[in-house]
Amino acid sequence: MRDGARHDSAPIIGGRREAREQALLLLYEAEIRDLTPEAMVDEVVVEPEAYTLEVLAGVTLHRTGLDELLTGRTGDWPLHRLASIDRAVLRLAAWELTEREDVPTAVILNEAVELAKTYGTDDSGGFVNGVLANLAAEVRPDTLPFEAPDTDG
């Protein structure tokens, strides 16, 4: 699934965290409003960070493949039945796991869990952690073992 894109524009870690959050919110809003992420970018007042735009483009380009990777890892819940915000977190993190080898697995999982805990339900952090740990074991087996993020409160 490598898109061959250059990743020179990635900001420092703090900036990347903010960029992920911005990307998540744009992906979520685009889905619930049935718009493309690009249309959402056109509506925002503040210019999104370069990494935000990279995430949006990557998730949009690879959405079908990302959904295929996530399907079957969500337990009894079909992907389309998940809360939209949880689905957006999973797609974002799955894209990073498959496309951004420069970002450590533990960082991707931790950031996804934190976003899920912030924007999802009380159960979202643990759910996202379980799904992504399973996916990471398949797509990044050479990076294991890694310390799974703490999903407590």
Structure token pair of residue 107: 């960082």
Q: For residue 72, is it left (φ>0), alpha (ψ between -120 and 50) or beta?
A: left
To the nearest 10°, the Cα dihedral for 41, 15, 51, 42? Answer: 10
Q: For residue 32, is it left (φ>0), alpha (ψ between -120 and 50) or beta?
A: alpha
Question: Quick one: pLDDT at residue 3?
Answer: 44
Question: Quick one: pLDDT at residue 22?
Answer: 93
Q: What is the CATH number of the domain that holds 31?
A: 1.10.940.10
Residue at 108 is within a domain = yes
Residue at 94 is within a domain = yes
Q: What is the distance between the alpha carbons of residues 33 and 75, in angstroms, rounded to a whole number? A: 27
Residue at 2 is within a domain = no
Residue at 152 is within a domain = no
Mean pLDDT over residues 108-136, rounded? 96
Residue at 127 is within a domain = yes
Range of the domain at 96: 13-141
pLDDT exceeds cutoff 90 at 124 = yes
Question: Quick one: pLDDT at residue 6?
Answer: 36
Residue at 28 is within a domain = yes
Residue at 3 is within a domain = no
| Number of domains within the chain | 1
Contact 62, 98 (CB under 8 A): yes
Mean pLDDT over residues 65-82, rounded? 92
Residue at 148 is within a domain = no
